[in-house]
Every structure is written in structure tokens, then in C-alpha cells.
Structure 1
Amino acid sequence: MSAGYLYPQFYHFECPRTQEIVNSVGAKAVAEEVHMVASLLWFHFHDRFVEARGPNWEVPLGRRDSRKANLSVSNNDIPVPNETFTTVLNKFN
């Protein structure tokens, strides 16, 4: 398999507990911040029905851009909802 190949079952083989871990982290986030429920519901609805035009789709997985997350880079490089268009555009240039 080439380094850039993506397929929906990637984590089934690489980390079989992925779904369990994601569910656990999601439950913890909701327990700590009640408003997270509304955000997750909106995200789920928007991506499933608006973006994907239906209730189901396969997501290709397997990108290995980094072996670890970097909070400061994420906080600086990922746009936030209240940024201006120019600021967001500059982050992607």
C-alpha cells in the first residue's frame, strides 16, 4: 500500500478500538460541556445530510501527516468561526 492510499477500514486494522475511544472521548466532552451536545448534533446533521446528501457515506482514512497532535499549531493554524475572511484565507495560503 502506498503512503497516500486512503480507505474507510483503515482504523479497523490499525487501531481496532478507534470507535470505542472516539465514543469515550465524545461522552467525556459532553459530560464536561453540556453545549457540546448541540454542536455535535449540528455537525452530524450538516455533514450527513447537507454535505453528503444522505444519511450514510464512507470516509477514506489513513493519512499520517503527523504521529502526534500539536495543540499550539492547531490553535494557531485552524480558523475559528469569528475570524475574518481575509484571516482565514491567509491561513490556507
Structure 2
Amino acid sequence: MTYPRFRRRPDAPAATLGDRLLVLDVARARFVGLNAVGARLWALLETPLSADDLVANLLAEFDVDAATCRIETAAVLRDLVARGLVEVDPDPCA
């Protein structure tokens, strides 16, 4: 397993609206909309995973090339971490 591992904040409210997932960014009082791939990434982050693990899961489920998946997964993770919706798992031994 590679590190760091990421997880979604358990207190970040989220709701499905049509084919999108809306996550409330409480600090900014705004919703963050995620498409189907982003919604799946969010679901995967219920348990701590590394970026490599996320990419592997997404590659198995979506028709996308590996390079694009890595780039886009990293971008979404950076954005969600910057918003405080995803955090680095503090327990690397779990």
C-alpha cells in the first residue's frame, strides 16, 4: 500500500441530485458538484485509500486511459483537500 492515504471527512454532508453528487463545503457555504466519476471517488474515500488505489479502482470501473485518470484524480483530490472535504488519513497503520 502506498501513502499518503486519503479519506473523506465523515462530517461533510453530501446528497445525490440527478446524476451529480453535491457535497457541502461548510467553510465556504457552497456546494461542490461531482460528476459520476467524482461521485465514485467520493464513495471510495469512505475508507482511506492512496491516490494509486483510487486510480486503480477508477480504471477498473470507467473507460479512461491511465494517464488521464491519474491527472484528473490528483486534481480532484487537491481540490477536495484544499476545501477541507477530504483529509490525509492520520493513521497510516490502520
Higher helix fraction (1 or 2): 1
Output the TM-score relative to the length of structure 2: 0.26
Higher strand fraction (1 or 2): 2
